[in-house]
Amino acid sequence: MKSVTFLTVLFSLATALTAGAQPSFSGPPPSRTVVHDASVRRAQYLQRINEALDWRIAAIDRQNVAGTVDLAAVSALLARHQDIELCNQRVIELMKTPGSGPFWMFPTVCVSFLGRDQLSAEAKAAIRTAWKSFQIRGDTENHWAMYYTSVYLMSELYPNDPAESWFNGKSSAENRAEARAYLISWMDLATTVGQGEYNPSHYIGEYAIPMMLMARWAQDPAMRQRGHMMLDWIFAGLAESTLNGVLHGPNSRTDEGSVVERWNALASVFSWVLFGNTPPIAGYGGWGNYFMAIADSYEVPAVIYLIATDRSAPFLQRDLARSRRRWRYSAELFMPVYKTNYTTKHYAVGSYQGGISDPIQTHVWDVTWDVTDPRGIHNTMFSLHPLASNHVLQMYFSELPDTMAQDITKQGKPSYTLAGKIVGCSPYEQVFQDLDTVVALYDIAPGVEFPQVNGFFSKDLINVTEDQSGWIFAEGGDTYLAYRPLAPYHWEAYRHFDGGWAAKQEEIGGRLLVSPHLKNGTIVQAASAFDFKDFEDFKNAIRRLPVEFSLKPKPAVKMMTLRGHDIVVTYGEAPTRDGEKIDYAKWKLFEGPYLNAEKNSKRLVITHGALQRVLDFNTLTIADTVTQP
Amino acid sequence: MPLLKPGVLFAVALAVGASAAAAPHELYVCASVNDNYVIGSTYVTMSGLFRRGGDGQWQHVGFNDVGLMAVSFDPRDHRTFYTATLNGCVRTFDGYDHLRVTTGWDVTEPRDVCVDPNAPDTVYLALPDGVVVTTNKGDTWERREHGLPTRGKYTQTIEVDRTRAGRVLAGCEKGIFLTEDAGKNWRQVLATVDAVLDVQQSPHDPAQWFAVSQSAGAWRSADGGATWAQVGGVPKAKAFYNVSFDATNPQRLVLGGYTYGVLTSEDGGRTWTERNAGLPAGHHVWRVAVDPDDGRIYAAVRSDSIYVSADFGRTWKAAGLPGSQVAEFVFVPAATNSTPARSSR
């Protein structure tokens, strides 16, 4: 069959609306002052929610309700208890042509619950009737989070309906039981060995919104609590993986826009509304509108807020995640993903160990530097092997062998089969990160498409210098960067698809360092400009670093990092740091100053200073403590 | 394009002649017609199960299903059938007026479904991660995978031996596996490195089986699937998606695949001939089938149409369902108490 399983709607009417001001989107960047007063924080949080609702409602054109009143607009109106007749009218109209899966289901759930005591009987009946139309469950973790949350809540809303009244021929009780079982199974997996779709730039909404729905409206107190705890869990992960609100790598699933312009992601909408430390993207990211309609019932935990906003001291977090489910060509159902996140005031370096995490949309590693205003800035550096492979796709998708790659390019991932792409991961890449040093080695098999390494050099780098030493030096914001290609290279203009449905590529600035060699590698060292007298001082420090590397028989690097650690990285072998082998088997679910959890524990300890919140899925409890000085 | 309602007749001139009306088999196809569809969006095309009417037009049956892979009918009552679709196994007892997704959250994306003709309450479902079996018409399902590899049990195709209840062959990532006790125990009867994509039993001699694979060409068995021999003259570099016997002529077989298009044999599989002249350029064939009533070949060209040949592949004519991708052809006997002939799986 023609694959529909990996398609995703990342667009909604809301992103296309232009009417009305979006103050935080178009205004000056938000203050980075950490707000310690809980009541002020709460007031600012609600203010941001209201800004988004104001904008969405202002975008309604009474002369063009069909074009401007979608389910997100209805949700905003219902949240404000206004224009209920318009809501009734639009719901009845929209339900005449039901959608066909999770991206339609959760918005209708949102409307159903917001409108429980407001919508007319006819409008409610229209939704209920639409839910008799067959709904596709999808095949990804986010699809199922949306689908089963929606099924669960609707089956609670209509608890006694018979099997024939539901799209899948199962009664309310059966649907509720199945949905509950899956959601608990998913939470068990995420809280023991990690999430599959970790740190997604856009899909965070596809988890956060369903969990918010669950936390707000599940009748079963245990499920309501689970929703709340998963929200905290997801937002704690967002907090530690952002630099002043901007999500950095690695990312299980992302796209060109977010990889190049790190801020340009739905994740920024969540940073904005929860933490107030970065502007939201246009239209509040489309899906973000649903979150705004229901988010007033959520209290951002102080400890998570502080982790997100406090960048006064560098920190190192190590997290465990997992790959997408592998159907074939693999000895394991999930590949463990060992993430490293080193964040300072001026930059963040993030990575996982390489290999295929998601076959299409993964971003393995990067350095992301801070900028005062991230809008339009390409504040990142990374390299990758641009793999395109039907065989790899078949690992993850139950598809026939010949057409997947070409299909993907027509289904929202237009760069998949291009040599110059900048999104993706490869089985021929191995990455080791030690604080702000990254060594990425490549041993690309002969015959593989495309036999090259692409390094991304942003338009916003300055003083890019190809040094005789072999290093390429550059400055990004207050960050000094040194990039060492291990094989010969040339430069190509970076060509960009502006969105998944863009028909053609455009040059938007930036270059690719293209190294067309199978045996290959990249070393990147980042540092704060404030740690050096000047850029030249940094260059000299890098030139003095002992670095040895060879590419045959296997790429290997032996070097001392700028932080004074001896690292040895050989492709296909465990890296060593100061003579000690990195033992990934000992990797915890979370380990660092902020987030800590043992593997298989279902218990996350979130800490910042004196504040601590423990999410314990074994007991379904949230425990807050404050350590007295 | 407006949403098409279930039951609407597709205005397709099917060049198969008037004999279709009186044919002892009804032709069903599992087809996706989903250009520009994304999960969650409103449908603009009809996909799912289609039945060819007596006038040669295609009638949509049941619900709009972009993820339909296979269908298998209960030989006792053809209004009872099971479909393998993205959400799991869907069952109907009344020709799709009512349906039920019989599987739970732990079953996803089944690739194939097959009713045991000698024990019709038993149904096998091929999954990306193994096999599940029901013995009560889908009321409950259980994993039956003992003997399948821990990893490598991706199952693309499953076919029940029509001569004996509980004897089943499964085409998996690691080869062909055989059970003789309704899935309780499996053993590998052919090892491959890539998936076996189709396994078929001869309508003439039940001991004869044929299989095609992703990267190892075609195989045949003369002992009920217990042992297999490579078929000569069939290319191996690329995949063949399915095989179909001609029930009207024991010497005739057809293979179909995206790269090779249509290959036919008229000497029992000893020699093979490409039969792509007249098919659209590229001859990207997704599925082939031979009509058990008259020996016509059907070839579904990906995202194009179904084509039919009345001279065993020498010439072709368009036969409807433009823009479709056909996952399976199924010929259902007009009479009950007879086993539907499947083009594949």
The pLDDT tens digits for B319-337 are 999 999 999 999 999 877 6
B108: left (phi over 0), alpha (psi -120 to 50) or beta: beta
- Mean per-residue pLDDT over chain B, rounded: 90
pLDDT of residue A412: 84
Instruction: HSE, CB side, 13 Å, CA atoms: give it for residue A267.
Output: 36
Q: How far apart are CA B337 and CA B333, in angstroms?
A: 9
Chain B, residues 85-104, CB within 8 A of chain A, namely: 86-87, 90, 98-101, 104
pLDDT average, residue stretch A331-337: 96
Token pair 């998949």: residue: A416
Classify B163 as helix, strand or coil: coil
Residue A425 has pLDDT above 90, yes or no: yes
B114: left (phi over 0), alpha (psi -120 to 50) or beta: beta
How many helices (DSSP H) and strands (DSSP E) are in chain B? 1, 30
Place of tokens 């690992």: A395
Among A243-247, A411-415, A450-454, A457-461, which stretch is predicted with the lowest mean pLDDT?
A411-415
Chain A CB contacts of B68 under 8 Å are 1
Answer whether B197 touches A (CB < 8 Å): yes
Distance, CA of A126 to CA of A92 (rounded, Å): 6
Q: Is the pLDDT of residue A220 over 50?
A: yes
pLDDT band for position A407 (cuts 50, 70, 90): confident
- A402·B63 Cβ contact <8 A: no
Asked which of A111-115, B165-169, B301-305 is least confident by mean pLDDT, the reply is B301-305
Q: Which pLDDT does position A225 carry in this prediction?
A: 98
Chain B residues touching A139 at Cβ < 8 A: 86, 108-109
- Whole-number pLDDT of residue B42: 73
Q: Do A100 and B100 touch (CB under 8 A)?
A: no
- List chain A residues with CB under 8 Å of B129: 327, 333
B111–A181: do the CB atoms touch at under 8 Å? Answer: no
> Which of A164, A400, A412 comes nearest B241 by C-beta?
A400
Q: Are A100 and B40 in contact (CB under 8 A)?
A: yes
Interacting residues of A435 by C-beta distance below 8 A, sequence separation 6+: A316, A342, A349, A561, A563, A565
Residue A290, min C-alpha distance to chain B (Å): 16
β-sheet bridge partners, residue B253: B245, B265
Flag whether pLDDT at A9 surpasses 50: no
Strands A462-466 and A472-476 turn out to be antiparallel
Q: Rounded CA gap, A471 and B4, in Å?
A: 61
Q: Which of A11, A52, A72, A127 is nearest to A290 (CA)?
A: A72
Q: Is A412 in Cβ contact with B38 (below 8 Å)?
A: yes
Contact present, B91 and B121 (Cβ < 8 Å): no
pLDDT the model gives residue B340: 66
- Percent above pLDDT 90 for chain A: 93
Q: Over 90: is that where the pLDDT of A384 sits?
A: yes
Number of neighbouring beta carbons within 10 Å of residue A122: 11
Answer yes or no: are the C-beta atoms of B315 and B12 closer than 8 Å. no
Query: Which band of pLDDT confidence, cut at 50, 70 and 90, is reported for residue A428?
Result: very high
Q: Summarize the confidence of residues B25-34 as an average pLDDT.
A: 92
Helix axes A102-114, A204-217, angle to 10 degrees: 30
Tokens of A57: 């409602």
pLDDT at A378 over 80: yes
What pLDDT shows up at residue B128?
Answer: 97
Residues in chain B: 345
pLDDT tens, B197-212? 999 999 999 999 999 9
Can you give the pLDDT at residue A179?
A: 98
Q: Do the Cβ atoms of A117 and B48 come closer than 8 Å?
A: no
What CA–CA distance (Å, rounded) separates B249 from B290?
Answer: 10
Reply yes or no on whether the pLDDT at B345 is more than 50: no
pLDDT in tens, B96-151: 999 999 999 999 999 999 999 999 999 999 999 999 999 999 999 999 999 999 99
Query: Confidence band (pLDDT; 50, 70, 90) for A152?
Result: very high
Quote the pLDDT of residue B21.
40
pLDDT in tens, A551-570: 999 999 999 999 999 999 99
One-letter identity of residue B282? G
Q: What is the largest CA-CA distance in chain B?
A: 52
- Is there a contact between A137 and A4 (Cβ–Cβ < 8 Å)? no
**Residues A198-216: what's their mean pLDDT?**
98
Locate tokens 């293979």: which residue?
Answer: B255
Which pLDDT belongs to residue B335?
A: 75
Residues facing residue A567 across a β-bridge: A559, A577
Q: Residue B4 has what DSSP assignment?
A: P
Strand order in the sheet with A479-485: A429-434, A437-443, A519-528, A479-485, A472-476, A462-466
Distance CA A623, CA A621 (A): 6
Q: Answer whether A328 sits within 8 Å of B65, measured CB to CB.
A: no
CB pair distance less than 8 Å for B195 and A178: no
Q: Locate the chain A residue with the closest alpha carbon to B215.
A: A401
**pLDDT at residue B56, as a whole number:** 87
Distance, in angstroms, between B256 CA and closest chain A CA?
13
Residues whose CB falls within 8 Å of the CB of residue A419, separated by 6 or more in sequence, listed in order: A386, A449, A450, A452, A454
pLDDT tens, position by position, A454-475: 999 999 999 999 999 999 999 9
At residue B338 the predicted structure's pLDDT band, cuts being 50, 70 and 90, is low
pLDDT at A10: 40
> Per residue in B215-260, pLDDT tens?
999 999 999 999 999 999 999 999 999 999 999 999 999 999 999 9
* Lowest mean pLDDT, pick from A173-187, A290-304, B9-23: B9-23
pLDDT score recorded for residue B246: 98
Task: Give percent of chain A with pLDDT exceeding 70.
Answer: 97
Query: What distance in Å separates the CA atoms of residue A432 and residue A429, rounded to the nearest whole number?
Result: 10
Q: In sequence order, which ranges of A564-607 are alpha helices (DSSP H)?
A: none
pLDDT at residue A7 is higher than 90: no
* Residue A349, pLDDT score: 98
